[in-house]
Amino acid sequence: MQKNQTKEKIKNSLLSLIESNHFEKITVTEVSQKAHISRSNLYNYYKNKDQIIDDIVEDHVAYFRKIYQNRYNYYDISDFLNELSDLLIHKSSNLKIILNLPSRFSDKFKNEIKSIVKKTYIHNKYKHPTIKSVPTDYEIQFMYLLTFNYILYTINNPKKNLEIIESINKIQKLFIK
């Protein structure tokens, strides 16, 4: 239990430092001081600050993956979008940080989200017939862009927008029969 608590302190300390400093200028010493642990103790958990960020990104991808697995369980996806909105609103400040990090991190997050959308879409394509004339690659790219735009919009306007939720629901109904 203590190991997880220490890792959370380290991650939260780095996120806190990034709010007021450029990532590249933050040192491991600053992170350890902010976490109230020794620098050598921090190295027991992470090799460097990049590895801390990788862990933070993976945490946020895991939250998204957990919610997204239910994406195609319903023809009406309002419940899914409400749950996703709750997550995005709750994690909006961390997600803004992740998306504003150097591209080696922000791109990793975006690619992981795209991979989740693709895997989920392909897995469910045969459960829910789609418009046959639209190529699968196009549908996947469209769903990813729709998803990512929803993520960006919600983290920049952290409140549920029921009109957007209803619009996305209608768009899905155009693709899925």
Is residue 23 within 8 A of residue 101, CB to CB? The reply is: yes
> Which tokens in the block code for residue 100?
């504003």
Q: Tell me: the pLDDT tens digits for 91-137?
A: 999 999 999 999 999 999 999 999 999 988 887 766 666 656 678 88
User: What is the percent of the chain where pLDDT is above 70?
Assistant: 92
Question: What is the rounded distance in angstroms from the CA atom of residue 22 to the CA atom of residue 39?
Answer: 20
Q: Tell me: the pLDDT tens digits for 61-71?
A: 999 999 988 77
pLDDT of residue 127: 67
pLDDT of residue 121: 82
> Which tokens in the block code for residue 157?
């306007």
DSSP state, residue 133: T
Name the more confident of 132 and 24: 24
User: What is the percent of the chain where pLDDT is above 90?
Assistant: 63
Mean pLDDT of 43-49: 97
Question: What is the rounded distance in angstroms from the CA atom of residue 145 to the CA atom of residue 138?
Answer: 11
Task: State yes or no: pLDDT of 33 exceeds 90.
Answer: yes
pLDDT of residue 132: 64
Is residue 54 within 8 A of residue 92, CB to CB? The reply is: no
The 3-state DSSP class for residue 172 equals: helix
Mean pLDDT of 150-158: 93
**pTM of this prediction?**
0.87
Which residues in 61-76 are b (16+ Cβ under 10 Å) and which e?
Answer: bebbbebbeebbeeee
